[in-house]
Amino acid sequence: MVSINVDVKQKYLDQAEMLRKLYDSKGIKVFELLGSPGSGKTALAEAVIDRIKDKYKILYFGGDVASTLDAERVAKHGIEAVEINTGGICHLEPSHVMEALKNVDLSKYDIMFIENVGNLICPINFPLGAHKRILVVSVAEGEDKFVKHPMSTKAADVIVISKVDLADAIGVDVKKMEEDARKLNPKAPIIKVSVKTGEGIDELVKALGL
Amino acid sequence: MVSINVDVKQKYLDQAEMLRKLYDSKGIKVFELLGSPGSGKTALAEAVIDRIKDKYKILYFGGDVASTLDAERVAKHGIEAVEINTGGICHLEPSHVMEALKNVDLSKYDIMFIENVGNLICPINFPLGAHKRILVVSVAEGEDKFVKHPMSTKAADVIVISKVDLADAIGVDVKKMEEDARKLNPKAPIIKVSVKTGEGIDELVKALGL
Ligand SMILES: Nc1nc2c(ncn2[C@@H]2O[C@H](COP(=O)(O)OP(=O)(O)OP(=O)(O)O)[C@@H](O)[C@H]2O)c(=O)[nH]1
Ligand SMILES: Nc1nc2c(ncn2[C@@H]2O[C@H](COP(=O)(O)OP(=O)(O)OP(=O)(O)O)[C@@H](O)[C@H]2O)c(=O)[nH]1
Ligand SMILES: [Mg+2]
Ligand SMILES: [Mg+2]
Ligand SMILES: [Zn+2]
Ligand SMILES: [Zn+2]
């Protein structure tokens, strides 16, 4: 991001707090997915949604610079899915979410997933009021991503190491990744996941309290 | 990126032009690598450097939010490698490059690689005066990355589809990716590469005129 000044930052934080209050007033739990392009955020949302959709009414918002591909994928699972195009901005801002919410009756839903724009850097600086922020880093991005991105790693509430089925093909030591993440973030659950083998999905559902 | 106004944009373009003039005055050819976190930019630089380092004097600049890992990796190939940490900014700006060049005698080198911060969105909006901008998109990010990132795809001078050895493990149709890229960018060479098998590296070296 281009550096933003303190007042502007505070404005964003205030907006995130407003969103949180709105979610709470409607009794909806909100989970944000963030991480690099193609880290597996949509695939993870799909896998979790399939596990829990009989139990909860679910809403999905997908953020992207362009296209409506993610919302189309998620809608196929029989839930309400809305795409938010930022038109070039590399992260969702609270105002994007507020705008998209204008057409939605939140009280109809128990759970919302907000998938941020694929970007390992900027989204963490623009909270959207979510109850939990889930950082998704795939082994296919290389072993060093937590160390190279300490801000995102530190601020996550849940850390997912995704695509673990590919660890050998990439030549990545998943244990080392886990240790690096743990050093930066002593609190967040760190969950190893593959949507291909199903590994870790139940554990993630549990970590989200669902 | 947070939206920037027209004057600021022009300032950036002017700075990029100044950099280009500097490169040309020193007789150095500059290649920028840009793409998502972990798309394989450093691995590609390493593979190309190994092919050409006996023929050219090479300089490498690596941009990252934090850490010096990439410059360390590249330095092991026996060439000069400098890390530029942006401290949170999600792309290199011309001023970062100017600052790093203060300690460098450019006329000693034939070729410079500038690896941008891992980010598929913002770097394309901040040219650094490079003669060719190489967009690196790995199959591990999924089939849809060109369609989802039309701005970066359109503006690239060379497009690399990396990690093609992983296409089956991810379930990606590389041909479809190539077609999508071609539709958006009718001119750029599109080169399929794997540093694991060596596929495409010679072709890339040729496309760079090296
Ligand atoms: N082998 C394997 N492939 C996976 C896994 N998870 C996702 N993929 C593949 O990785 C690619 C990217 O997955 P997506 O779910 O689209 O990633 P994303 O983070 O939503 O991507 P953006 O929204 O564009 O940033 C797709 O081709 C998926 O099929 C996994 O656990 N194992
Ligand atoms: N299987 C396979 N793995 C690759 C290939 N290219 C790179 N990798 C692996 O992918 C991971 C990321 O590669 P890097 O070269 O570090 O990617 P990068 O784009 O420089 O990453 P950042 O600078 O952090 O954005 C590393 O674990 C590499 O070993 C490839 O062609 N095939
Ligand atoms: Mg997605
Ligand atoms: Mg790199
Ligand atoms: Zn940014
Ligand atoms: Zn940005």
Cross-chain Cβ contact B163/A142 below 8 Å: no
Tell me the chain A residues in contact with residue B147 when contact means C-beta distances shorter than 8 Å.
66-67, 69
User: Nearest CB to A1: which of B90, B142, B151?
Assistant: B90
Q: Which residues surround ligand 6, an ion (CB under 5 A)?
A: A 90, 122; B 1, 90, 122
Q: Which residues line ligand 1 (CB under 6 A)?
A: A 35, 37-43, 70, 118, 162-163, 165-166, 194-196; B 141-143, 148, 169-172
pLDDT digits (tens, 9 = 90+) for B2-20: 456 778 889 999 999 999 9
Give yes or no for B92 touching A (CB within 8 A). no
Q: Give distance in angstroms: CA of A1 to centre of ligand 5.
A: 4
pLDDT digits (tens, 9 = 90+) for B66-80: 999 999 999 999 999
Encoded amino acid at B156, one letter: A
Which CATH number applies to A6-207? 3.40.50.300
Largest CA distance in chain A: 47
Give yes or no for A18 touching B (CB within 8 A). no
Mean of the per-residue pLDDT values for chain A? Answer: 96
Cross-chain Cβ contact B69/A148 below 8 Å: yes
Cross-chain Cβ contact B140/A144 below 8 Å: no
User: Nearest CB to A2: which of B2, B140, B170?
Assistant: B2
Residue B1: the pLDDT is 45
Q: Strands of chain B (E only): list them.
A: 29-34, 58-64, 80-85, 111-115, 132-138, 158-162, 190-192
Cross-chain Cβ contact B37/A145 below 8 Å: yes
Cross-chain Cβ contact A1/B1 below 8 Å: yes
CB A168 less than 6 A from any atom of ligand 2 = no
Any bridge partners for residue A84, and if so which? A63
Give yes or no for A148 touching B (CB within 8 A). yes
Token pair recorded at residue B3: 């939206």
Residue nearest to atom 13 of ligand 2 (CA): B40
CB B127 less than 6 A from any atom of ligand 2 = no
Do B92 and B126 meet the contact criterion of CB atoms below 8 Å apart? yes
Tracing tokens 């967009």 back to the chain, one arrives at B135
Our CA angle for B102, B108, B112, nearest 5°, is 75
Distance CA A73, CA A75 (A): 6
Give residue B29's pLDDT band: very low, low, confident or very high (50, 70, 90): very high
Distance CA B109, CA B179 (A): 37
Q: Which of A120, A161, A164 to mutate to test the interface with B (most CBs of B within 10 A)?
A: A120
Name every residue whose Cβ is closer than 8 Å to that of residue B113 and which is 6 or more positions away in sequence. Answer: B30, B31, B32, B33, B45, B48, B49, B58, B59, B60, B61
pLDDT digits (tens, 9 = 90+) for A162-205: 999 999 999 999 999 999 999 999 999 999 999 999 999 999 99
Query: Which has more confidence, B103 or A187?
Result: A187
pLDDT digits (tens, 9 = 90+) for A66-80: 999 999 999 999 999
Share of chain B above pLDDT 70, in %: 98
Domain spanning B28-207: CATH superfamily: P-loop containing nucleotide triphosphate hydrolases (3.40.50.300)
Question: What burial class does residue A63 get, using C-beta atoms within 10 Å of its C-beta: 0-12 exposed, 13-18 middle, 19+ buried?
Answer: buried
pLDDT digits (tens, 9 = 90+) for B176-205: 999 999 999 999 999 999 999 999 999 999
Residue B168: the pLDDT is 96
Give residue A1's pLDDT band: very low, low, confident or very high (50, 70, 90): very low
Give yes or no for B170 touching A (CB within 8 A). yes
From A21's Cα to the closest Cα of chain B, the distance in A is 25
Span A133-138, average pLDDT:
98
- The ligand 2 atom nearest the CA atom of B33: 19
Cross-chain Cβ contact B166/A166 below 8 Å: yes
Encoded amino acid at A207, one letter: A
CB atoms closer than 10 angstroms to residue A103 = 7
From B29's Cα to the closest Cα of chain A, the distance in A is 28
Tell me the chain B residues in contact with residue A151 when contact means C-beta distances shorter than 8 Å.
65-66, 88
Give yes or no for B166 touching A (CB within 8 A). yes
User: A35: part of which helix (H) or strand (E)?
Assistant: none
What residues does each domain of chain A span? 6-207
Q: Give distance in angstroms: CA of B192 to centre of ligand 3.
A: 23
Residue A3: the pLDDT is 56
From A179's Cα to the closest Cα of chain B, the distance in A is 17
Do A167 and A136 meet the contact criterion of CB atoms below 8 Å apart? no
Any bridge partners for residue B30, and if so which? B112
